[in-house]
Structure 1
Amino acid sequence: MTPTYTAREAPWRSRNGLDLPDRVPRAEREAWEARGLCPDADLFTLFRGHALASPGREAVVDARGALSYGELYAEVLRIAALFAEAGLGARDVIALRLPNGRLAVAAELAVYALGAVALPYPLGGGVRDTRTLLSRSRAAGAVLGEPEDLEAAAGLPWLRAVFTASPGAARAGARRLDRAAPAGAFRPSEPPAAARAPARFLVSSGSETEPKLVAYSHQAMAGGRAAYVRALAGAQTGPHRFLVLVPLASSYGSLGVPVTLAALGGTLIVRDRFDAADALRALAEHRPTHVFGVPTMLRRMADLPRRPGEDTGRLRALVSSGAALPASTALACRERFGVPVVTVYGSSDGVNCHTVAPSGDLAGTPDPAVVSLRIVRRDGTPADTGEPGEIQARGPMTPLCYAGAPELDARHRTADGWVRTGDLGALDGAGRLRVLGRIKNVVIRGGHTISPAEVEQELGTDPRIAEAVCVPVPDEEFGERLCACVRPAPGVPAPALAAVTAHLAARGLERRKFPEYLVVLDRMPLRPTGKVCRRTVTSRALAALGADARPGATAHVNPPAGDVTHAGERGRKLRGDADSYAILEQ
């Protein structure tokens, strides 16, 4: 049943007719403003203040070098002038699909300079994602880098202007973004947008059938999201210097342009793509105070040997988010870099909690300057201390709504504005949150429910395992069985299934939750956001095991060069993957 929302301000409407209502009661927003938790300023005004106050400070460092705040400000105005020349302006939605770098940064800030709404989304999602996102957002403009993206944008009724950042991707009607600004200086309005107006869409990771668009206001970005970054960075002298390894267009990467540059006035260090060795070079050469990445990225960096003369003395912490942090990865990072690992529990839907002492499922103590969290039973009543239930969130970081999808608001928001995360958790007596996995992300084996996240957490304590993902395998007898897909730690032989289950038994995990298959991979497939792609892991596991695999089977996918096969193993090519093969032993 669709909830009846309490009275609020009239929905914000784009020039193309997209309505974005605020699903949080107005009184709550006003209370946060009164407490100073939501600044009364838009993102461009905040950025301009930093640029005018410290024009010589480094703003962006990418593969081309450093760009000062003064230089970045001039580049923002140039791109904003090109947008305005094409007829784009306030209350338009402008999509951005660009690799990390100064152009992506300047283009996003140029959207804010117009008073428009930015829709950045990562590369690699496919043509269908482009058409879905441009259509659902009713985007009036887009900056696209690949030929297939330009073709996908063709014929969309609301799209008035398409820009290309790639000389080889031009098509009829596409404008070049590297042109000089038209005659006459572009003068942003003061302010370009209201603080409560939409500023940016965050795109979900795509666990649903189609990606979701979550609308955030300027206040939510410069208030709640900035508060979480300030808190995890802690007290420090001098500007923040953040090495952000994830795509700036991702939900996690939104801490880059709106927060690091606009809200905090810090220095943003980025790479156009992730490579562990390159990330280590950036760490040593540009000396960030914090490194932001997903667990897979941080583990791959930690597994590399120290470079000659490597200096990480300015580094204060590594920040992990986007997936659960295995204990073995946290330990490897602390030993390799000698700094704390901050783990962040969060999502594009508006939930956040972090801790500087990651341990198992502990996510930390909720910060009301970011969001308050509560645990709710299935019937909607508050859960007792320590009792598992759904995690719900509401606070200064809470987004406005889902764009163009009232059915998602009905499903994921309560009538009084709380976000239903779909995650299972509990608050202990000290008010600390423990995340226990996805409510729906379970394996049903013979009527028994198994949480893959719980098993992955315990596998993460095994020093022989660098990464672990647990997936379901169809089974005629029990419906599903659990398969553990692991990447061994460097220099360590791949563990056998019996050794894996022995470790889980020693950790106290119930026997019925043990994985019954083991797939060993030399690398985990990643999504464009840097997270492990569970869908690809699942398909590779199923292909490696084959239809006739019996419980207890172990398969090796993409084994490293020199991997030794033993008697009784049978190998075969994986369908559609000429670079992969599987060795099945039963």
Structure 2
Amino acid sequence: MSIIRPATTGRSDISRIAAEVSAHVASGIFLDATLLDLLDVQVRERGNVEAVLDARESLTFAELRREIDTTAAHLIGAGIMSGQLVLVQMPNSADYLKVLFGCMVIGAVPVLMLISHRHRELLHVARITGATAIITVDEHLGVDHAAMACRVAEELAVQVLVVGDRVPAGARALYATTPGDLGAVAGPTVGDTALCLLSGGTTSKPKVIPRLHGAYACVALASARRCQVTPDDTYLAVLSTSHDYPLSSPGVLGVLLNGGRVIMSVTASFDEVANWLETEEVTLVQAVPAVAAAWAQAAEQAPADLRAEWHIPTLVLGAAKVGTELASRLVKIFGCRIIQGYGLGEGITCFTSPDDPDEIAWNTQGTPVSDQDEVRILDPQGNVLGPGEVGELVEKGPYTFHGYMGAPELNAACFDNEGFFHTGDQAMIRHDGRVVITGRVHEQINRAGENVIPSEVESLVAAHPDVNEVAVFGIPDSEMGEATCAVVTVFPGREQPTRATMAAFLHASGVGAYKVPDRLVVVRAMPRKNIGKIDKLILRSQILGGAEAAGPSTGIEKKDNHE
């Protein structure tokens, strides 16, 4: 059993994990099958049925499996071996699935980078995982991902494998390597690490979440059961499938492993989504409320005859609260039933049921998908709270992870003595048992489904040579849910940065676009608490109220949501 050791803590030792996996298999909580085994069941039963469609190709289950093996052979030819970790940074596509499963065939572990990550994140994750390779595309939406990966390769001993036509110096074309022999490959087991997710969480850099085959199959299938996925479903994947939510809750895996069909949409733009809705019989879509709200706004401005073609039978919403107003608009426009959910790449996943009344589906995040999940709400002193009381949500269950890779101190803080994982999310459990997420225990900005950590953005902005002090916080935004606002003071005699110049500075530092402040405000001085800390509550109130924050503000630039 080649479990990747996430940390040197008592909870995360290999023998304990192996014992837990064996117990879950024996009790029937886990199937004695890997994600590949479960895909092969569908290949045998539905081989000639279309499995995956993107803008470039269509593959049946049998064709997808052959392409996966072809990719696996080329990975061997590139020198990738069982147990090695490889960073995978690719947009939604059939090629993405070939690489994802191809790594699993040979026992390599894909670390799923977001397509929005940049050099800084790639370098950080490559270092803490000890990755031996980066698999990426040549270019996507104007970003030269191959060149970016090559910059990482210049600093670390990793090879760059490119899926695409243009391969820069220092990289190799994945499918130009001489295919290796799959006959000698043993393949993974239910207790092996299938993949690694990334979590923004409450720290400044991505944390690595190893997920075992058995545990990840468990949550994908349980999510699919809750959402009533069947082989007749066609799932339109609009969010990056390197996120846990659109990958396995129920996502691509939950649908494929139940014999359904997956459409890989490159973006979540309404133009692309509307095209798929008009041309394919889509039955299931997952989105975040900010994206769904943008679709609703676009649809409301379209002619009625076009709107009639944009039917979404089941719309699953997560990552932020929906609310009655938005839910009612979505139902009216798209004729959908809404399922609302909550989940973490680390573990707990909750959904409402398709059969729930609107009051539950629109205002709660449902209940855990496994009967084996345990959820508690704690006050700051660690006392268990009762129904209707708000506190921190802690959880444990069969598919909860065993710790972040290379972060023993963090793991010790995240897990208590009973094995409960402290999520950092603020919630309550209603009298009917439904979970309601009310916010974060610690500060965090949910920008269109991406977690932005104010402290990280503050450190990035503070590196600008003209910036003296900086405070970053979220502000309401009709399109993204929350936008990022940075308020700065400058050194005397220095030039005041604008949002455009700050964006250029951060981009040059290799920062992902979603971390660039949407609004930049320059002030003479910061309001402070009596202990001398910047008072963000007052600052945010003054910015939102249009008042001047401790002096006249200048250099205000309108946010650019299309960056």
Work out whether the TM-score is over 0.5.
yes
In the alignment, what sits opposite 1:252?
Answer: 245
One-letter code aligned to 1:412: C
- 8 Å CA contact retained: 1:134, 1:153: no
Partner SS state of residue 178, structure 1: helix
Q: CA deviation at 1:218?
A: 0.4
The 5 A counterparts of 1:260-409 are 260-261=255-256, 263-305=257-299, 308=305, 315-356=312-353, 357=358, 362-369=364-371, 371-409=373-411
Partner SS state of residue 423, structure 2: strand
- 8 Å CA contact retained: 1:318, 1:341: yes
In the alignment, what sits opposite 1:47?
Answer: 39
Q: CA deviation at 1:87?
A: 2.0
Change (3 A) 1:431 1:533: farther
Partners of 2:403 and 2:435 in 1: how far apart?
25
- 8 Å CA contact retained: 1:23, 1:401: no
Change (3 A) 1:416 1:114: farther
Partner SS state of residue 167, structure 1: coil
One-letter code aligned to 1:98: M
Which one is further off, 385-394 or 291-300? 385-394
Q: Does 1:186 align with 2:188?
A: no
Q: CA deviation at 1:57?
A: 1.2
One-letter code aligned to 2:153: A
The 5 A counterparts of 1:168-207 are 168-172=166-170, 174-179=171-176, 182=179, 186-187=182-183, 189=185, 192-205=187-200, 207=202
* Pairs aligned (count): 475
The counterpart of 2:218, out of the listed 219, 223, 228, is 223
Change (3 A) 1:149 1:324: farther
Q: Deviation digits for residues 268-316 of structure 1, max 9, x if unmatched?
A: 1111222112101112212221101111221122222356466669743
Q: CA deviation at 1:107?
A: 0.3
Return the TM-score normalized by structure 2.
0.74
Partners of 1:12 and 1:329 in 2: how far apart?
42
Partners of 2:476 and 2:56 in 1: how far apart?
38
- 8 Å CA contact retained: 2:277, 2:311: no
Partner SS state of residue 115, structure 2: coil
The 5 A counterparts of 1:55-74 are 55-74=47-66
Q: CA deviation at 1:225?
A: 2.9
- 8 Å CA contact retained: 1:375, 1:382: yes
Q: Which runs of 5 or more residues in structure 2 are unaligned? A: 138-144, 459-470, 481-502, 504-511, 528-538, 547-551
Q: CA deviation at 1:407?
A: 1.7
Partners of 2:209 and 2:181 in 1: how far apart?
33
One-letter code aligned to 2:204: T
Change (3 A) 1:273 1:550: closer
Q: CA deviation at 1:136?
A: 1.0
Partners of 2:210 and 2:307 in 1: how far apart?
41
Q: CA deviation at 1:124?
A: 2.0
- 8 Å CA contact retained: 1:374, 1:393: yes
One-letter code aligned to 2:347: G
Q: CA deviation at 1:69?
A: 1.4
In the alignment, what sits opposite 2:207?
Answer: 212
The counterpart of 2:165, out of the listed 134, 151, 167, is 167
Partner SS state of residue 292, structure 1: strand
One-letter code aligned to 1:229: A
Q: CA deviation at 1:39?
A: 1.2
The counterpart of 1:80, out of the listed 60, 67, 72, is 72
Partners of 2:296 and 2:541 in 1: how far apart?
34
Partner SS state of residue 415, structure 1: coil
In the alignment, what sits opposite 1:120?
Answer: 112
Partners of 2:519 and 2:525 in 1: how far apart?
10
Change (3 A) 1:217 1:25: closer
Which one is further off, 84-93 or 542-551? 542-551
One-letter code aligned to 1:223: C
- 8 Å CA contact retained: 1:284, 1:310: no
In the alignment, what sits opposite 1:149?
Answer: 149
Q: Deviation digits for residues 512-550 of structure 1, max 9, x if unmatched?
A: xxxxxxxxxxxxx9xxxxxx999656x516459998999
Partners of 2:543 and 2:208 in 1: how far apart?
41
Q: Does 1:106 align with 2:101?
A: no
Partner SS state of residue 59, structure 2: strand
Which one is further off, 419-428 or 99-108? 419-428
Partners of 1:78 and 1:198 in 2: how far apart?
22
- 8 Å CA contact retained: 1:58, 1:68: yes
- 8 Å CA contact retained: 2:294, 2:479: no
In the alignment, what sits opposite 2:549?
Answer: none
Partners of 2:52 and 2:352 in 1: how far apart?
28
Q: Deviation digits for residues 308-351 of structure 1, max 9, x if unmatched?
A: 46666974310111222243221211111111121111122212
- 8 Å CA contact retained: 1:32, 1:38: yes
- 8 Å CA contact retained: 2:219, 2:349: no
Change (3 A) 1:33 1:378: farther
- 8 Å CA contact retained: 1:251, 1:347: yes
In the alignment, what sits opposite 2:483?
Answer: none
Q: Deviation digits for residues 134-178 of structure 1, max 9, x if unmatched?
A: 111111222023111221133424x3x420124334222x22023
Partners of 1:127 and 1:98 in 2: how far apart?
14
Partner SS state of residue 247, structure 2: helix
Q: Does 1:487 align with 2:466?
A: no
Change (3 A) 1:540 1:314: closer
Change (3 A) 1:50 1:436: same
Partners of 1:310 and 1:283 in 2: how far apart?
10
Q: CA deviation at 1:401?
A: 1.9
Change (3 A) 1:252 1:434: same
The counterpart of 2:425, out of the listed 417, 423, 426, is 423
- 8 Å CA contact retained: 1:394, 1:419: yes
- The root-mean-square deviation of aligned C-alpha atoms, in Å, is 3.9
In the alignment, what sits opposite 1:243?
Answer: 236
Partner SS state of residue 363, structure 1: coil
Change (3 A) 1:23 1:426: farther
Q: Deviation digits for residues 166-222 of structure 1, max 9, x if unmatched?
A: 4334222x220233763x7634746x1110111111111365211111111001111
Partners of 1:25 and 1:375 in 2: how far apart?
26
Partner SS state of residue 51, structure 2: strand
- 8 Å CA contact retained: 1:545, 1:553: no
Q: CA deviation at 1:422?
A: 0.7
Partners of 1:82 and 1:271 in 2: how far apart?
26
Change (3 A) 1:243 1:26: same
Q: Which runs of 5 or more residues in structure 1 are unaligned? A: 1-8, 443-451, 457-468, 475-479, 490-524, 526-531, 557-569, 581-586
Q: Deviation digits for residues 92-120 of structure 1, max 9, x if unmatched?
A: 11210011101111000101111221111
Change (3 A) 1:243 1:210: same
* Identity rate, percent: 23
Q: CA deviation at 1:397?
A: 2.2
- 8 Å CA contact retained: 1:13, 1:91: no
Q: CA deviation at 1:33?
A: 2.9
Partners of 1:246 and 1:235 in 2: how far apart?
18
Change (3 A) 1:59 1:26: same
Partners of 2:421 and 2:434 in 1: how far apart?
19
In the alignment, what sits opposite 1:37?
Answer: 29
One-letter code aligned to 2:267: R
